[in-house]
Amino acid sequence: MIQVQLPDGSVKEYADGTSALDIAKGISERLAKACVAAEVNGTIVDLVRPLNEVPSEGPLQFKLLTEKDAKAVGVLRHSTAHVMARAIMRLYEGVGLAFGPTTGNGFYYDFDLATPISEDDFPKIEAEMQKIANEAEPFERFYLDRDKAIEFCRDLKQDLKVEHMQTGLSAHETVSFYRQGEFVDLCRGPHIPDAGRIKAFKVLSVASAYWKGDANNKRLQRVYGTAFFSKDDLKEYLDQVEEAKRRDHRVLGKQHNLFNISNDVGQGLSLWLPKGASIRATLEDFIKKELLQRGYTPVYSPHIGRVEMYETSGHFPYYRESQFSPIFGHDAGQLVDYWIRKINEGNLQNAEEKQFAETAKIMGCEVAGDALRASTKEDKIKILHDWERTQERYLLKPMNCPHHVQMYKSQQRSYRELPVKLAEFGTVYRRENAGSLNGLLRVRGLTQDDAHLFCTPDQVEEEFKSTLDLVKFVLGSVGLDDYRVQLSLRDSKNKEKYVGSDEGWNSAEATLRHVLESVGLPFTAQEGEAAFYGPKTDFMVKDCIGREWQLGTVQLDFNLPERFNLEYIGPDNKPHRPVMIHRAPFGSMERFVGMLIEHFAGAFPLWLAPEQLRICPVTDNANEYAAKVQAQFRAEGFRVTTDLRSAKVNAKIRDAQLDLIPYMLVVGPKDAEAGAVSIRDRIGGKDLGMLPMAQAIEMLKKEAIERTVRQVVKSKFRSFDEDQGEMFAG
RNA sequence: GCUGGUGUAGCUCAGUCGGUAGAGCGCGUCCUUGGUAAGGACGAGGUCAUGGGUUCAAGUCCCAUCACCAGCCCCA
């Protein structure tokens, strides 16, 4: 017998071999039909799977999942991935199956297939999938011992599955398969009961991917698709994808002259054009004021710093590959640096080393001969390292923290002055892979709205809370109030990727968890996402069409204070180690503005709009009055321009409307006579009528000062980026 | 960085079979002086991404490089 606890708390007993479907049928036939899968003790299982297969102490926590449950759609998508794979195997010869997991809003399946699949092939793949859906065959789970399973897959000529079982699944004694008609796949499951449940799906795109994500491995074709329980949901999703394309900040940025990334300047290096710069400056002014009120002190630091400093902090060794090469003050610097690396790699030939030494000598490195003659690897490296340290070596700064640490150290600190909060819009440089650059969202030079808080261990919780509060406030002020927090923890299996002691990490992670719980912020923990020096809380912010962005971050750091020997004098008159909090509410100005462009689709609210008002004189006769109006609004702090073209007012209004100017001030003889302006609202194109100057100024000022966000999006989109908890891999 | 695709006027794009380049928008000048989404005429703008090659002849075919786009990898 098995004991099952239903969501209402009642516990019932069923015979061994009872499935979720049996239980559902026991409740009602209709419920049984509406069910997709079941959640048992937190894991999702097939409806038809005997429940006694789920190990449990005490009664099974049982819940039926219907089409309405967010978790159910993941099951549907994974099954659709199987159906797609089946369709592709029917259409092509020699299809090798790799993995076919679900993603945030769909699924993909990787195929090892000689024939390239192109977009033109999608209709026939979809047609075949539809056929399979119509056949409505069940998904059947079965088990094999691993050895048998390997034989089985070998017979099926599924070499990748064989390899996976020999490596990734080597610890498993038995493995599960799913059969659906002639299609069999090694798969953990779960699946929907039968393919007839698949009603709305689409093959979306094809791209290349590598077996197990490793570029040294075989190249596969990854076919993406998505599925929903209803055609309406599918359409809504596809509409959202279209809407996202329409909002692309790279397109809008070009159209409205917000920013430019010029090849002549360099990849990933953004140029803020006047209008984009205006948005950024407005945001920066806003934050600066807020920080002053919250006890931060602004500081400035240079764009480069000595390599040694970043060696101490750990940034240089940890991120060497994604940094620009150091700036060497000595001609031989780069050569010696390369030489050391070769020695470290341990495959340096004698002849090669001789050449290094000779060249370095010619370039003026006088210790090159000594290094060549030194007997051990360690001695060589020491000689070269010592020489390097006497030379100038600068790094374009990849992070602001070491600079701020030095500021903290520049004077003796008492516990009385803590927390010290140093804030800077600090520009940092990172050599991101060329292939991952993306408009303003991923750049090589970026400015963080950065600050570092140095506090006593006792202050950590409170300061951490207050920074979370700041992030919430700042996001709210631009109308972003839908977000969740991701608690990014260390990867407990790869501790060597991080600096610092276990105790330090454990207590830092516990502190973050505790604070998040105490302030009641919803959060999800994610292992392996921490920074190398400490755990983070990242704000995952949803924009108005439901997409999630990783923006602000608050990080706790016990390590840099240790590495830089930071101290403060405590009430006991003894030195103590402070704790650092790193935080950036926006993250980077580039990324944040890029996101805002997409969030507002280029139509910024009054307080952020680069051009807030445009004066449209009705005729040339009104130009003189327009100039007076402009001067008055400028004096009140508005960003305003006047359209002086000899065009009809209709044309001026049309252009202002398309330029997404929040308000147009139409002025003609009537207004001049009344000392008024006629206001047109961009939203809805409403004519607000003639208002006396003073009144118009007051009304617009109020909206700007209150940072009112009147409109973000016309359409109603919901989030498709929901975390579905589990990923299904097949 | 890897794989694939793309690169023609300021922007969006057309350019057939290899025969010295075109549209719309924008821009400039002139006419027009109009009250809430496009008034008209004329004009200027291109080393067809860059460098090679094939050819009597290359925007078009081939090779390399660079950049961009999509995906992968990465993201302090």
CA of A245 vs C1' of B44, distance in Å?
35
Is residue A671's beta carbon less than 7 angstroms from any atom in nucleic acid strand B? yes
> Where do runs of H (alpha helix) occur along A535-602?
559-563, 589-599
What pLDDT is recorded for position A209?
Answer: 80
pLDDT digits (tens, 9 = 90+) for A401-447: 999 999 999 999 999 999 999 999 999 999 999 999 999 999 999 99
Please state whether strand B lies within 7 Å of residue A644 at its CB atom: no
* Smallest CA–C1' separation from A266, nucleotide: B67
pLDDT at residue A725, rounded to an integer: 39
Told to judge if A430 belongs to the known catalytic residues of this protein, a careful annotator would answer yes
Q: Which of A536, A542, A591, A680 is catalytic?
A: A536
Task: Dump pLDDT digits (tens) for A97-107.
Answer: 888 888 878 88
Q: Which of A168-172, A228-232, A260-264, A456-460 has the lowest mean pLDDT?
A: A168-172
Q: At what angle do helices A122-135 and A70-91 cross, to 10 degrees?
A: 110
DSSP state of A510: H
Closest of A460, A525, A456, A465 to residue A489, by C-alpha: A525
Cα separation, A277 vs A126, whole angstroms = 47
Helix (H) / strand (E) element for A460: namely helix A460-477
State the alpha helices, DSSP H only, in A294-376.
Answer: 307-313, 315-319, 333-345, 350-362, 368-373
Residues contacting residue A484 through CB under 8 Å, at least 6 positions apart? A522, A523, A524, A539, A540
Residue A391 burial (10 A CB sphere; 0-12, 13-18, 19+): middle
Q: Which strands sit side by side in the sheet containing A183-186, from one edge to the other? A: A140-145, A174-180, A183-186
- pLDDT reported for residue A84: 92
The conformation of residue A290, written as its DSSP 8-state character, comes to H
pLDDT, position A716: 52
Catalytic residue from among A35, A153, A365, A401: A401
The Cα–Cα gap between A111 and A211 comes to 9
Judged by DSSP in three states, A234 sits in helix
Quote the pLDDT of residue A52: 77
Distance A396 CA to B35 C1' (A): 57
* A582 tagged catalytic: yes
**C-alpha span between A361 and A366 (Å, rounded):** 6
Residue type for position A589: M
State the angle between helix axes of A159-166 and A146-155 in degrees (0 to 180), rounded to the nearest 10: 160
Amino acid A4: pLDDT = 79
A630 touches A664 (CB < 8 A): no
Of A96, A366, A353, the C-alpha closest to A222 is A96
Q: A419 preceded by cis ω (within 30°)?
A: yes
DSSP A534: B
- Asked whether residue A373, judged by its CB, lies under 7 Å from any atom of the DNA or RNA strand B, the reply is no
Nucleotides on chain B within 7 angstroms of protein Cβ: 1-4, 11-12, 31-39, 66-76
Q: Residue with structure tokens 């999942």?
A: A65
Task: Using the structure, give the distance in angstroms from the CA atom of A301 to the C1' atom of B58, rounded to a whole number.
Answer: 54
Taking the C-alpha atoms of residue A25 and residue A521, their distance in angstroms, rounded to an integer, is: 39
Q: Measure the CA dihedral A294/A295/A300/A304, to 10°.
A: -80
| Residue-wise pLDDT tens digits, A411-421 | 999 999 999 99
Q: How far apart are CA A523 and CA A510, in angstroms?
A: 14
Q: How far is CA A356 from CA A337, A364, A366, in A?
A: 11, 12, 13
Looking only at Cα atoms, what is the longest distance across chain A?
94
Contact between the CB of A213 and strand B at under 7 Å: yes
CA angle A224, A230, A234 (to 5 degrees): 40
Pairwise pLDDT comparison (A548 vs A56), residue with the higher score:
A548
- The residues that bridge with A107 in the sheet, in sequence order, are A102, A225
Quick one: pLDDT at residue A720? Answer: 53
